[in-house]
Amino acid sequence: MGKNRDLLLELGTEEIPARFMQWVLGEIQGIAEKSFSASRLIYSSLQTNGTPRRIVLHVRGLAESQQDLTEEFRGPAWRQAFDGTGAPTKAAVGFARSKGVDVEDLLLREIDGVEYAYAQVRQVGRPTAAILPELLGDITSRLVFPKNMYWEDPTVRFARPVRWILCLWGDEVVPLTYGTLKAGRMTRGHRFMGAKRIEIAHTDEYMDKLYDNYVVVDVAKRREMMLSRIAALEKEMGCRIERDPELVEENLFLVEYPVPFFGTFDKEFLDIPSEVLVTSMKVHQRYFPVRDDSGKLKNHFVGVSNNRATNMDVVREGNERVLRARLADAAFFWREDQKKALASKVEELKEIVYQERIGTVYEKVLRARDLALWLADHLGIREERPLIERAGWLAKSDLVTDMVYEFPELQGVMGREYARRNGEPERVAKALYELYLPRFAGDSLPTDVIGALVGLADRADTILACSKAGLDPTGSQDPYGLRRAARCINEILWGLSLDVDVVALMTEAGRQVKAEPKVLDKVFDFLRNRLQIQMKEKGYGHDVVTLALSASWNRPFQAMRFLQALVEIQDEEWFRQLITAAVRVRNILAKAEGFPEGIDEGLFADAAEKELSETLLELSPEARAALQEWRWKDLTAVLAHLEPVIARFFDKVLVNDADPAIRANRFALLARCQELFRLVGDLGMLK
């Protein structure tokens, strides 16, 4: 066998959108790993890299041939394959022929006490060179982007047109075909600074030759180059450059050779809310905002150019001109929007249809406002009602401002800023922003109950109204974000310690939209399922989550408190023993025939029976009170008190006594014990 060689596949394309690049590199890596493994091709490492103009698969140390494959196949029973003299029967001969082996090579294997004839088939590995064209063609054809296009051959689709293919194994070209393209050893440099045609004689020189032509193929090295140059600018400017991770990744896949630069805009734009400026820079221009040491926004920005121009001042001035136009538009919107108070814009929401089967945004605002007021009463915070009512009324008013129309990402932010300038109470203004929190997993939660309640009400209305309209999530499709809404409800209830009964909340939301009982049942199932999933995502086990939900799923805050109380004791020995006892009680009663409801103390034959009876009489009211008042620590204390008593009972007492009356009385005692267990839930599921 010859020396292992490196394999290199480069798909050269028109500029692929940055949002696709991380996805496709992970996709091709996963497909390639599975394909090479299925083909029994051994390699040292497999790595993917890419730039906007190329997707690269690099397989190092690829073996010259497949691994040999040895398989064993079971045939007829040995006594059927060979007669008493050891001569092969027709069954053995036919089996051996079907597997391409000599009958003399059949092996004897014993399986579960039965002897069988086995055929061992060895398949010699094919040369790697013979496998690669089909294998790589299959990998390439399986790359299906979220959005695809075709150019010459309508059967070949990709994110952007593929213009060249380089495919080498060591110094040999792999004869790969993709559409009308045939692979070769030619690649291309940077679109503006590199050579149009670069010949690669061997895979070893690929990275260096492209670097010489201003293409940094290695994603990690390109990121390091970009960030180090941004750090140098930061030091030069004496400021702090805001490196948003998503923006870093986006810029990384917008360039082949990163050249960071800084620019400036007029200080007068700093009078606009900083969120507007940051959105203009990051979302529309992919610039990094610049702040001083105190975190205040400065009139600078940092961009990343894909071209190291002779005079970078030209690049900077061009970008400053584009940003200036953007900020001028924003300043105009800021001035125009303030000519009318937010409150006057609420009526305009009647013209915006939220969903044709649900109604207008105005109608949704009214429902959410009333639901938020119901929540205030439900939680006993009636003194906040005026602020909640005002925040609920203004909640979506910034949707009809020019600024939010141009920058949808600023919904909530602009509501807060305009409300402040309209003289609205600060808590109302803050609520217009916080009602959207959390916007994504890990985001900040509302800091004030006003925004929290309006946000809870809005999400509850969304879930109920969409469910009534038949817009429930299906598979990976959730266009109205109902799963996210349910997640946010739970996170807010947990984070702000709000003890809301979501069944009552959804029932009230259902009353507002006249939802039928079957719709409510569907919503309850949905919310319980989402709560269970969310708790598991936090690292809690399935069984303990199920037990916690069985006690109080309709109150997510209490369900989480009970779950945490259970987790604290689930590994303690007394609790493990109590679970064993609970399972034992359940199993005994499942087999027990009829027994009286009451307990006759006169039939007690052992002190352990009396002790258990008296303990149950004492603890059952305590357990019920603790459960009704959500005192989970007290409930677990009751269980801790019960465990040694029931342990002594089973140690001292034979439940299945020969005397029918004594036996039935003991069954009744255990039934009372089970009643207490059922207050907590099915403890047996934790065994």
Same domain, 631 and 501: no
Same domain, 238 and 285: yes
CB distance 168 to 202 below 8 Å? yes
Where a domain ends, among 296, 316, 337?
Answer: 337
Q: Which ranges of 338-425 does DSSP label H, i.e. alpha helix?
A: 342-345, 361-379, 385-394, 402-406, 413-421
Distance CA 596, CA 615 (A): 20
Same domain, 617 and 504: no
> Is 0.85 surpassed by the pTM of this model?
no
What does 578-593 look like in DSSP terms, one character per residue?
HHHHHHHHHHHHHH--
Domain assignment present for 190: yes
| Statement: residue 440 has pLDDT above 90 | no
Domain assignment present for 586: yes
Expressed in angstroms, the distance from the first to the final Cα of the chain is 56
Q: Which residues pair with 166 in a beta bridge?
A: 10, 184
Domain assignment present for 485: yes
Name the amino acid, one letter, at 270: L
DSSP state of 51: E
Q: Find the mean pLDDT for residues 557-582.
A: 91
What does 161-190 look like in DSSP terms, one character per residue?
-EEEEEEEETTEEP--EETTEE-BSEE---
Same domain, 349 and 462: yes
Q: Note down the domain range covering 190.
A: 5-65+127-212
In the chain, pLDDT over 70 holds for what percent of residues? 100
- Model confidence at 683, in pLDDT bands (50, 70, 90)? confident
The residue written with tokens 């915006």 in the block is 352
Higher pLDDT among residues 3 and 422, named by residue:
422
Determine the length of the chain. 687
Q: Find the mean pLDDT for residues 482-500.
A: 96
Q: Find the mean pLDDT for residues 506-510.
A: 96
Same domain, 371 and 445: yes
pLDDT of residue 334: 95
What does 23-62 look like in DSSP terms, one character per residue?
HHHHHHHHHHHHHHHHTT---SEEEEEEETTEEEEEEEEE
CB distance 680 to 642 below 8 Å? no
DSSP SS3 for 351? helix
Domain assignment present for 557: no
Distance CA 72, CA 1 (A): 26
Q: Which residues pair with 51 in a beta bridge?
A: 54
pLDDT of residue 649: 92
Same domain, 433 and 582: no
Distance CA 210, CA 212 (A): 5
Domain assignment present for 550: no
Same domain, 324 and 385: no
| Statement: residue 256 has pLDDT above 80 | yes
Largest CA distance in the chain: 107
Q: Find the mean pLDDT for residues 496-514.
A: 96
Same domain, 61 and 73: no
Name the amino acid, one letter, at 300: H
Domain assignment present for 560: no
Half-sphere exposure of 502 (CA within 13 A, CB side): 35
Neighbouring residues of 671: CB distance < 8 A, sequence distance ≥ 6? 589, 595, 597
Pairing of strands 181-182, 162-169: unpaired
The residue written with tokens 């439900």 in the block is 378
Distance CA 685, CA 352 (A): 50
Same domain, 433 and 501: yes
Distance CA 621, CA 599 (A): 17
- For residue 373 the two structure tokens come to 């007021």
| Statement: residue 3 has pLDDT above 90 | no
Name the amino acid, one letter, at 265: F
Domain assignment present for 76: yes
| Statement: residue 203 has pLDDT above 90 | yes
Neighbouring residues of 464: CB distance < 8 A, sequence distance ≥ 6? 506, 509, 510, 513, 515, 519, 520, 523
> What CATH number is associated with residue 402?
1.10.3210
Distance CA 88, CA 110 (A): 18
Domain assignment present for 104: yes
Same domain, 227 and 355: no
Of 13, 10, 11, 17, which is closest to residue 254 (Cα–Cα)? Answer: 17
pLDDT of residue 596: 76
| Statement: residue 660 has pLDDT above 80 | yes
| Statement: residue 593 has pLDDT above 80 | no
Question: pLDDT tens digits for 326-374?
Answer: 999 999 999 999 999 999 999 999 999 999 899 999 999 999 999 999 9
Question: pLDDT tens digits for 63-121?
Answer: 999 988 888 899 999 999 998 888 999 999 999 999 889 999 899 998 988 999 999 88
pLDDT of residue 231: 96
Strand order across the 107-111 sheet:
69-77, 114-123, 107-111
| Statement: residue 594 has pLDDT above 80 | no
| Statement: residue 437 has pLDDT above 90 | yes
CB distance 274 to 295 below 8 Å? no
Distance CA 158, CA 641 (A): 67
CB distance 9 to 57 below 8 Å? yes
The CA distances from residue 7 to 41, 57, 59, in Å, are 12, 8, 5
Tell me how many degrees the CA angle 316-319-325 measures, rounded to the nearest 5. 140
Same domain, 329 and 348: no
Instruction: Report the C-alpha dihedral over residues 77, 81, 82, 84, rounded to 10 degrees.
Output: 60
Buried b / exposed e over 231-259, threshold 16 CB at 10 Å, is: eebbeeeebebbbeeebebbbbbbbbbbb
671, burial (CB in 10 Å: exposed 0-12, middle 13-18, buried 19+): middle
In whole angstroms, what separates CA 54 from the centre of its chain? 29
Name the amino acid, one letter, at 30: G
The residue written with tokens 């059952």 in the block is 620
Same domain, 583 and 632: yes
- For residue 659 the two structure tokens come to 């005397």
- In whole numbers, what is the pLDDT of the chain averaged over residues? 93
Q: Find the mean pLDDT for residues 244-267.
A: 96
CB distance 224 to 231 below 8 Å? no
pLDDT of residue 71: 86
Where a domain ends, among 537, 558, 583?
Answer: 537
pLDDT of residue 1: 41
Q: What are phi and psi of 201, to 5 degrees?
A: -80, -35
| Statement: residue 584 has pLDDT above 60 | yes
Q: Find the mean pLDDT for residues 469-480.
A: 88
Where a domain ends, among 337, 371, 402?
Answer: 337
Number of independent structural domains in the chain: 5
Distance CA 236, CA 231 (A): 9
- Model confidence at 2, in pLDDT bands (50, 70, 90)? low
